[in-house]
Copies of this chain bind each other. A is one copy, B any other.
Amino acid sequence: MLKYSRQREAIKRFLMTRTDHPTADTVYVNIKKEFPNISLGTVYRNLSLLASLGEIAKISCGDNSDHFDPNTSPHYHFCCRHCGCVQDIPMPTVSMLNQEAQKQFDGQIESHSICFYGTCRECLESYDLSRQSS
């Protein structure tokens, strides 16, 4: 049976204030402001617990740490090749992709994830600035 924990609530509350899909470590350093003694292990334990309860989503976009997203409705992500930031992509999810993939595939497809890659606006701007100054 699940018991209440102030740390878990704080972690979830913190995530909901953010749209940048923080990593476990970012959650840790931020939640420490409220719980100076909290341990990284507790953060990891609660993040996986919340993810397995379906209250948050875990995002693996190929940089070597997982990101966490308070928005559990299906949507796609962007990951900047330069700064590594992760952002939501505001576009409709293509559920037909599952059916399309299923056509030639003999296993059972249940879901998919899409990650777009490229350069985020901030990195584009700093690139423009460095070109102007050269």
Residues on A lying within 8 angstroms of B by beta carbon are 58, 60-62, 76, 78, 80-81, 87, 89-91, 94, 97-98, 100-101, 103-121, 123-124
Contact A110 B121 (CB under 8 A): no
Do residues A97 and B114 form an inter-chain contact, with CB atoms below 8 A? yes
Neighbouring B residues of A113 by C-beta, 8 Å: 62, 114-115, 117
How far apart are A68's CB and chain B's nearest CB, in angstroms?
13
CB-contact partner of A112 in B104, B117, B123, under 8 A: B117
B124 touches A107 (CB 8 A): yes
Q: How far is the CB of A113 from chain B (nearest CB, A)?
A: 6
Residues in B neighbouring A89, C-beta threshold 8 A: 101, 104-105
